[in-house]
């Protein structure tokens, strides 16, 4: 039995590692495609980009792990079935469960690692990832002058060059100064120029040759004069541009620390308890405000007969002197408007707090969903491999991706419904498990009974026989 377990384990681990690496690589590529406009083309250092992708890999590894387990187990059992080794094992009296047992032990270990990641590591990685991504998205693009195009990346300036020589000389340079917000009143033209940026990227030094500077004079009365201008010529001029805005400014990570993605399992439980307390406080405030209004009759200094008449005929104004009726009605209307405004504000705030609570509750319960997904994918992939009996990366990968897409759609749909308050957050987080667990149980029983439910050859034979019968009656 130990040799069998060793055989299965040595076959599973390479398949799992390769599948996990491929799945993680695809997910990282998807991440790059999603945020390419925010991180690419801005001149960031390779180490900074690598750090960003490293944080993203921590986050995406939890999603790639179930897929890697399913593909790896499916390929392992599929190869054993394809080589008739699984049939020989079953013929010797060893059950399918005993074959899967070593993979199950490894999956349990991976489940514990996944839970540790979702509970503590992923929140830390999310804090690093999204704070860095926020800073990168707000950073300006890299300073680049393209011949024939206007560059407006420097605030208050537009720069155009006609050409650039291989030695770095800029030809036919036009600089438009818009820093005064008065249009093209200050234009600088030069035949050629050299530029250099200091090491800490604080300023750009541009040395211009053989040019002129045209500036329209703006009179003190504020009225433009088309004839008032000045022009001076130069052989050489040094112009400095402030590039401090191009430097990457890091935001304090504490500003992001309270988001539901950044909280570990201990902190998010505390946050959920606090949000529930806020919701309870809102209910108490509304109740205390409405209590006197609901029981307004008890506060009236009227006898029982008068109270009966008010309830019966709703003519409280008949009990008030005509000279006071207008004042009383006006006060009542103002009070009703105040009550209406209070209730509208209370409802809006209650809905906002409920949406926030749903988000935090979903993230709290979702920390248990992904570890459970590892076990679910094992009991889908391994039995499927025993039924399909195909190894390699072809058919097993296609089948696994199909089941994983179903899991991912359920995960996304459950998240949306719980946040929209359609279903409780715990059911939204558990939706993939509730749908996939019955599927895993069904497939496992089918594999234990040597079912040919997913055997393509059996289905092909079935349809051939069915077609022959149809032709006999036609």
Helix H or strand E encompassing 459: helix 456-473
DSSP 146: P
Position 338 scores a pLDDT of: 79
Position 221 scores a pLDDT of: 55
Q: What is the pLDDT of residues 14-26, one digit of tens each?
A: 999 999 999 999 9
Q: Picking from 38-52, 91-105, 211-225, which range would have the lowest pLDDT averaged per residue?
A: 211-225
Strand ranges across the sheet with 229-242: 150-151, 157-164, 170-177, 186-197, 203-216, 229-242
- In the predicted structure, residue 472 carries a pLDDT above the cut 70: yes
- In the predicted structure, residue 462 carries a pLDDT above the cut 60: yes
Q: What is the pLDDT of residues 260-291, one digit of tens each?
A: 989 999 999 999 999 888 888 887 877 777 77
3-class DSSP state of 30: helix
Alpha-carbon gap, residue 348 to 370, rounded angstroms: 33
- In the predicted structure, residue 453 carries a pLDDT above the cut 70: no
Helix ranges (DSSP H) in 256-321: 265-294, 304-313
Q: Does the reported pTM lie above 0.75?
A: no
Check: CB of residue 95 under 8 Å from CB of residue 5.
Answer: no
Alpha-carbon gap, residue 153 to 146, rounded angstroms: 12
Q: Please count the CA atoms within 13 angstroms of the CA of 355 that sit on its side-chain side.
A: 7
Position 431 scores a pLDDT of: 94
Name residues whose C-beta falls within 8 Å of residue 62's C-beta, 6 or more positions apart in sequence: 114, 117, 118, 122, 370
- Helix, strand and coil percent figures for the chain, each rounded to 5: 65, 10, 20
- In the predicted structure, residue 207 carries a pLDDT above the cut 80: yes
Check: CB of residue 230 under 8 Å from CB of residue 217.
Answer: yes
Q: Picking from 159-168, 260-269, 314-323, which range would have the lowest pLDDT averaged per residue?
A: 314-323
| Confidence class for position 100, pLDDT limits 50, 70, 90 | very high
Q: What is the pLDDT of residues 428-450, one digit of tens each?
A: 999 999 999 999 998 888 888 77
Alpha-carbon gap, residue 399 to 391, rounded angstroms: 12
CA dist 32 → 22, 95, 411 (Å): 15, 45, 22
- In the predicted structure, residue 420 carries a pLDDT above the cut 90: no
- In the predicted structure, residue 219 carries a pLDDT above the cut 70: no
What single string gives the DSSP state of each residue in 208-253?
EEEEEEEEE---TTS---TT-EEEEEEEEEEEEEE-GGGS-PPPPG
Helix H or strand E encompassing 172: strand 170-177
């Amino acid at each position: 039995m130990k040799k069998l377990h060793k055989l299965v384990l040595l076959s599973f681990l390479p398949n799992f590692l390769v599948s996990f690496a491929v799945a993680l690589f695809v997910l990282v590529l998807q991440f790059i495609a999603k945020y390419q406009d925010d991180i690419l083309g801005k001149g960031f250092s390779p180490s900074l980009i690598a750090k960003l992708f490293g944080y993203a890999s921590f986050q995406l590894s939890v999603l790639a792990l179930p897929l890697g387990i399913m593909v790896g187990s499916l390929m392992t059992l599929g190869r054993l079935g394809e080589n008739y080794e699984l049939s020989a094992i079953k013929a010797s009296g060893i059950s399918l469960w005993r074959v899967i047992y070593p993979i199950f032990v490894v999956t349990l270990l991976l489940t514990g690692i996944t839970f540790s990641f979702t509970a503590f590591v992923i929140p830390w990685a999310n804090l690093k990832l999204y704070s860095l991504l926020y800073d990168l998205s707000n950073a300006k693009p890299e300073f680049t002058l393209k011949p024939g195009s206007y560059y407006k990346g420097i605030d208050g300036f537009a720069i155009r060059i006609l050409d650039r020589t291989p030695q770095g000389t800029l030809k036919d340079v036009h600089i438009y100064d818009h820093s005064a917000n008065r249009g093209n009143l200050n234009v600088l033209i030069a035949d050629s120029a050299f530029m250099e940026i200091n090491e800490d990227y604080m300023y750009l030094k541009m040395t211009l040759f053989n040019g002129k500077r045209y500036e329209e004079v703006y009179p003190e009365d504020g009225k433009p004069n088309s004839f008032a201008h000045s022009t001076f010529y130069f052989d050489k001029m040094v112009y400095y541009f402030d590039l401090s805005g191009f430097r990457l400014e890091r935001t304090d990570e504490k500003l992001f620390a309270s988001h539901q993605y950044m909280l570990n399992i201990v902190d998010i439980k505390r946050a959920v308890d606090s949000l529930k307390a806020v919701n309870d406080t809102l209910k108490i405030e509304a109740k205390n405000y409405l209590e006197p209004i609901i029981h307004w009759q008890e506060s009236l200094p009227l006898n029982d007969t008068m109270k009966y008449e008010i309830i019966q005929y709703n003519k409280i104004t008949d009990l008030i002197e005509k000279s006071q009726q207008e004042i009383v009605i006006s006060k009542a209307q103002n009070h009703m408007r105040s009550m209406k405004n209070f209730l509208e504000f209370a409802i809006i705030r209650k809905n906002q707090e409920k949406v926030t609570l749903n988000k935090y509750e979903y993230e709290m319960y979702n920390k248990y969903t992904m570890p459970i997904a590892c076990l679910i994918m094992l009991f889908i992939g391994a039995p499927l491999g025993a039924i399909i009996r195909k190894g390699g990366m072809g058919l097993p990968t296609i089948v696994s991706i199909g089941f994983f897409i179903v899991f991912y759609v359920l995960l996304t749909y459950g998240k949306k419904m719980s946040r929209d308050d359609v279903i409780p957050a715990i059911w939204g987080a558990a939706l993939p498990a509730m749908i996939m667990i019955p599927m895993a149980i069904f497939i496992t029983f089918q594999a234990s009974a040597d079912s040919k439910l997913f055997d393509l050859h059996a289905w092909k034979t079935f349809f051939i026989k069915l077609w022959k019968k149809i032709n006999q009656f036609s």
